[in-house]
Chains A and B, each alone.
Chain A
Amino acid sequence: METQEHAAVQPGRRRLAQFILGGGFVATVVSFLYPVLRYLVPPMLPDLGGDEVVAAKVGDLKPNSYKIFRFGSRPGLLVYTADSEYRAMSATCTHLSCIVQYRGDLREVWCACHNGMYDLNGRNISGPPPRPLDAYQVHVRGDEIVVSRKREA
């Protein structure tokens, strides 16, 4: 037979048992979900690009033409202008990341996806792009055209 006193402590005990069981269950769920969530985050790939790359050889490009080159894991745009000048910039459109191209007929950089326009310094001049393309420095070293990131002052 249960005494009066014994019956009186029951709700408290039950609450404690529920707390321990529920807390234990939640702790288990968290401890199993945590590795899964961490697993979902892809490991960072090291950017092997460095700050400098040989984009092309002298003579590869005719005047008023362009090529896309690899700059680390991202594409870069090298333009040989009609005035026989080299210009280099990021080839990733600042609007929605399409790859841009040089339009010889317009003498401007054009993104085919949403008709964005940049000038030969990478400035966004018409269409949806919100920011200019990152401009790179170009040096001709022997017969190599070397593109490097501009040093932040």
Chain B
Amino acid sequence: MFNVIRKWLDERFGWEELMAPLRHKKVPLHKFSAWYFLGGMTLFLFGIQVVTGILLLLYYRPSANEAFESVQYIMTRVQFGWLIRSIHSWSANLMIFFAFAHMFSVAFLRAYRKPRELTWVSGILLLFLVLGFGFSGYLLPWNTLAFFATKVGTEITGQVPVVGHAMLVFLRGGEEVTGATLTRFFGFHVALLPGITTALLALHILLIQRLGMSAPPSVEAEWAASPEKKREMSFFPNFMLREMMAWYIALGILGALAAIAPWELGTKADPFAAAPAGIKPEWYFLFMFQTLKMIPAKVGFIDGEVLGVLLFGLGGLLWLLLPFFDRGERRSARWTMGALVFVVAYVVAMTVYGHVAK
């Protein structure tokens, strides 16, 4: 049956030739090979987001009067609605976690080296997009926490010198966070961001297919010294099957998490109520949030908030350009490794601090 279809396709546009790169692609086997699973896991969770997101669209209504009620309706009236929404929320958080883990593993294994600079750049842009998904999706249930998170988040955007105010108005659809903001964020979340993400994701995966998996420098050196030690596995079907096993387990964990700890809805947003005590952004924004809290109101002649935003902007840019700083010589490699350790330590420490801080 499959053979007949394959033959039919092959006769018409060379299916076998099209699939050949998949078969040629090899996955290097060494003690760090487990890290190769993280990217695929992020991709799988993205797929879950697309499917559950489309399902939520069947009942969700993007307006200030109806958004909260429609999510409430999904959670209470629609059969298995609570499950679909909980999976969407859990999978979103796990996807962001795996995107970060994938990024840091790539950084530490220095997989961004020539010729894979653009794979890194596209990956970092994808991470920014994923954070955009998180930020825009968070508002959609139109509950109190989401309302204030969006108010603060967009206010921070407004601190950017020169273009800040224009960006704030663009994001909010006005001067304040209102129903207009909700409709806008909905558009970003279900149309704009998915469109850009799909294109970038295609590029990212195409580059990986084209360039193959990178082996870490230490392993590469070892293999160059003694070629008989080199070990590899075919990507298709061997590695692919292992990945699918991991996805299968992930799906099970996801279902269990959603069933044991369904996502809460909270209370409906009220633009004229005081912010609740202990309000915090989602964990993936905590390190920035905590940093901004710690910078004093004035540093010399410059506002603390403005300084923080500028520093994070600069940090993000440097991070994006990381492959171009690591030239591969001993000295720059050591500097890069030091910087990496610092970044990870900073992000983890600030996240934990932000979590426990009052």
Chain A residues in the interface with B (C-beta under 8 A): 28, 32, 35-36, 38-43
Contacting pair B248 A36 (CB below 8 A): no
Contact across chains for B79 and A39 when beta carbons are under 8 A apart: yes
Asked if B58 and A40 sit within 8 Å, CB to CB, the answer is yes
Q: Kindly identify which residue among B58, B83, B251, B252 contacts A35, using a CB–CB cutoff of 8 Å.
A: B83
* B212 lies within 8 A of chain A by Cβ: no
- Supposing A28-B248, A40-B58 touch, asked if A35 and B84 sit within 8 A by C-beta, the answer is yes
A-B contact pairs, 26 of them (CB 8 A): A28-B248, A28-B251, A28-B252, A32-B251, A35-B79, A35-B80, A35-B83, A35-B84, A36-B55, A36-B80, A36-B84, A38-B79, A38-B80, A39-B58, A39-B78, A39-B79, A39-B80, A39-B81, A39-B84, A40-B55, A40-B58, A41-B79, A42-B59, A42-B78, A43-B78, A43-B79
> Which residue of chain A has its CB nearest to the CB of B254?
A32
| B77, closest chain A residue (CB) | A43
Complex alpha-carbon distance, A28 and B255, angstroms: 11
Task: Return chain B residues, CB-CB under 8 Å to A39.
Answer: 55, 58, 78-81, 83-84
In the complex, A63→B29 CA distance in Å?
Answer: 89
**What is the number of contacts between chain A and chain B, taking CB atoms within 8 Å?**
30
CB-CB under 8 A from B251, the residues of chain A are 28, 32
Determine the chain B residues whose CB is within 8 A of the CB of A38 once the complex forms: 79-80
**Chain B 53-86 near chain A by CB (<8 Å), digits 1 or 0:** 0010011000000000000000001111101100
Between A35, A38, A39, A42, the greatest number of chain B beta carbons within 10 A of the residue's beta carbon is seen for A39
Residues of chain B with a CB closer than 8 A to A42's CB: 59, 78
Cα of A28 to Cα of B253 in the assembled complex, Å:
13
Q: Which residues of A contact B59 (CB under 8 A)?
A: 42
Bound: A36/B52 CA distance, A? 9
B 37-62 to A, binary, CB cutoff 8 A, 1 in contact else 0: 00000000000000000010011000
Instruction: Report how far A37 CA is from B251 CA in the complex, Å.
Output: 17
Return chain A residues, CB-CB under 8 Å to B83.
35, 39
